[in-house]
């Protein structure tokens, strides 16, 4: 699987978390399984902390598992810090450390009022031929890939256009309704709202890449949202991402307050 595909999966996985609210301090732990077809390829665990209904932080660890470890070892740590503004989360800093085999990179994004004020990659990447630079207009009014996927429970979630920046690529996720489905896991059993997702790459990528073009042309990407019992929010519990190697699914195996 290409480096970009691995990173976008990590960004998608980072976005799968329920965030509780309503107490002076709340800690919430979630766990996920990533599969290519029927084969588990990664696992992850996240911890979300909210203090005084004013600030929040999320930290997560992701690692390859099963047969994927026979090909290459993938690991990542990610975090986001921010403030609660009304019913929405607004990031102030997003971090992703990603390692695949011997190659490692750190993505560090800083925000002010929803606008990106700095974005660094270490070690720096030399832009390849046909690279689409990120213009200043794409750095305004954007969401991080973690808290950008969490909504108040009364939101018409499948009518959203999400402007996401993952530290390198700026993309839009355009959601549309696709009904509801039953979903059960540790801490949740009930109906999940199903949204079809159209992936629109905007900037920060190599034009003509086959994996990006494949995903942008696909109509089979979807996200399922469920309400967290401990909070009045909707968050993803299942994601299906079509790839050239087969469908990748990300499933919450724990969705409850600790």
Q: What is the tens place of the pLDDT at every residue in 184-224?
A: 998 889 999 999 999 999 999 999 999 899 999 998 999 99
Expressed in angstroms, the distance from the first to the final Cα of the chain is 34
Q: What is the tens place of the pLDDT at every residue in 17-50?
A: 544 444 456 677 778 888 888 888 888 888 888 7
Return phi, psi of residue 149, to 5°: -110, 20
Q: Report pLDDT for 130.
A: 93
Instruction: Report which of residues 162 and 232 the model is more confident about.
Output: 162
Number of helices (H) and strands (E), helices first, in the chain? Answer: 3, 16
Residue holding tokens 């480096």? 3
Q: Is the dihedral of CA 157, 159, 163, 169 positive or negative?
A: positive
Domains and CATH numbers, the chain: 3-257 (2.40.360)
Q: 14 vs 94, 126, 127, 217, CA distance in Å?
A: 11, 26, 25, 23
CB atoms within 10 A of CB 104: 13
Contact in structure between 150 and 223 (CB atoms under 8 Å): no
Q: Give residue 95's pLDDT band: very low, low, confident or very high (50, 70, 90).
A: very high
pTM for the full predicted model: 0.86
pLDDT above 90 for 109: yes
CB atoms within 10 A of CB 241: 22
Q: Give residue 70's pLDDT band: very low, low, confident or very high (50, 70, 90).
A: very low
């Amino acid at each position: 699987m290409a480096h970009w595909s691995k990173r976008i999966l990590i960004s998608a996985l980072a976005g799968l978390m329920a965030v509780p609210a309503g107490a002076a301090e709340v800690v919430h732990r979630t766990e996920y399984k990533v599969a290519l077809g029927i084969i588990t390829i990664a696992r992850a665990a996240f911890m979300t902390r909210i203090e005084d209904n004013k600030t929040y932080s999320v930290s997560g660890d992701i690692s390859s598992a099963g047969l994927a470890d026979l090909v290459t070892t993938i690991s990542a740590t990610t975090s986001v810090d921010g403030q609660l503004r009304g019913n929405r989360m607004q990031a102030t800093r997003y971090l992703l450390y990603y390692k695949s085999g011997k190659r490692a990179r750190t993505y560090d994004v800083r925000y002010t009022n929803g606008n990106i004020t700095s974005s660094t990659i270490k070690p720096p990447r030399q832009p390849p031929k046909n690279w689409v630079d990120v213009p200043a207009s794409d750095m305004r009014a954007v969401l991080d890939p973690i808290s950008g996927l969490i909504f108040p429970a009364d939101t018409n979630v499948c009518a959203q256009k999400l402007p996401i920046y993952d530290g390198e690529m700026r993309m839009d996720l355009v959601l549309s309704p696709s009904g509801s489905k039953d979903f059960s896991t540790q801490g949740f059993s009930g109906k999940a709202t199903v949204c079809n997702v159209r992936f629109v790459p905007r900037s920060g990528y190599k034009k003509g890449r086959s994996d990006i073009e494949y995903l942008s042309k696909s109509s089979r990407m979807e996200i399922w949202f469920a309400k967290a019992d401990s909070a009045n929010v909707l968050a993803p519990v299942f994601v299906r991402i079509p790839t050239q190697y087969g469908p990748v699914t990300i499933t919450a195996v724990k969705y409850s307050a600790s």
